[in-house]
Structure 1
Amino acid sequence: MLEEEVSPFLLLSAEIRLQIYAYLLDDGGNQWLAIRNHPDSRYKDEAIQKRSTRYHVMERNSIFNRRGYETTYHLASSHAHFHTAIMSTCRLVYHETAHILYGTHNFDFGHDIEAVVPFLQDRTPYTRSLAAGISIYKRAPLPCLDCTREKYEWAFLCRYLAETRTLKRLRLIVEGGRPGKPWEGVQTLTESDFRLLSLIRHDRLEWVTELSQVKGVTELDVVSDMRYLPVPKSPETALYAAVSASVETGLKNFLWSEMGTVT
């Protein structure tokens, strides 16, 4: 019986194979890969991979004119050039390239949080376990608008991450508002304040409670993206200003105390 022929590629040393992989899976020297929703016009014009899950998103351009459409996610990093056909050659190559593609990168979803769950669900169990670092942007609710769908998307995302328990690294960017001068009421919130508001499930901080259910995180970075906010005239706006002022202190400490705990 003839011996099974071994591909010459597999006879190369691991170091040379890694150099070839680096050429075929060129990330442009960036550890972060941007994953975004396809814009409506691009989705209609481009051929979308059949294996990519489709989902519905709602535009957020105006509080008066919001339009929904079906789309899917795509790689939005212009610096990255990936030739992934090599991954289907054999099991060994698949595992080696999967580690490079997913295990050495973090995935930045920006404010397109609808894309996170479909992206992770479309991965195999092996690559899903490797894609352990993500970045998401938590937008402030639009004024005078019922953001029920956005609340649902956030709750769905947090529930999925809590159930799969594969998330290890999280960068959370929180949109906040900073008044030009002090206002009446509490100016900042401590870790204990966030814990109390989470325990009573305050409706304005429901998103914090939902995120805190995700456990096993080993790296957590929480930063604020501050916008102008008029001096608060209502208790709701005053709380929003206090939360915004505490994103990188009280909120970060609370989330780390909850999410960094393996249960």
Structure 2
Amino acid sequence: MSASRRVIRHLAFAGAVAALCAPVAATITITAETTVPAVMLEKGRVTGHAAEKVHEIMRRAGLPYTIALMPWKRAITLAHTNPNTCVFMTTRSLERETWFHWIGPISQADWVLYGRADRQYNIRSLDDARGLRIGAYNGDVRGEFLREHGLNVEFVQNDDSNPRKLMLDRIDLWVNSTRSSRAVLARVGLTGKIVPVHTYRMVKLYLACNAATPDADVARMHAALRSMEADGSYKAIEQRFEYLQTAPLVNP
């Protein structure tokens, strides 16, 4: 065999070995909680206006991933403590800022205090809610915000418990958002019996990835989102789910 052929074979073998040894991108686990119409399970697939944006971000970024639905406290804790883990839809706060890389916003939400429809309330600011018992659920930044501002907040494991507690006078108010409260109230059969009393904040929501996520992966996700905004697909996803954001939800 000639020297040139030996060199070619050696280079080909070295290239094959390098390809086999090249690092394979780790699968990113993305956690979330069910929040209709942003995140929901349909026919075994996680969908919704926020979930579809995440699917498209990851597809354009070329990153392998899975989405797992779970209670919110567990979802955000896993993303905070585990490498190659992200969570959505997440609100930025001073405490959380250094926990994650922030990709977004992918949605927005209002923070609303709810009360019973058969009661009169005079709440024009959070100061007017001082001394009242406010229901929230574990890990929810809305309730944590209220507690940090000196309000009396009672946390529960499952947010479905809060409307029931409100109707039983075990709490005085319940904190949620316009979008997610509609689904909760329909699920527990209390649509129309609990109404918004005071909106105290508007926030942007993000896909938040563990701080150890490689910068290159984060950059690809940012670029994917920017391209979605530029070509109109971000808005198109929102429009696909508009009917769920405005249509009345019926009690199951």
Highest CA radius of gyration, 1 or 2?
2
TM-score, normalising length from structure 2? 0.30
Greater relative contact order (Cα 8 A, min sep 6): structure 1 or 2? 2
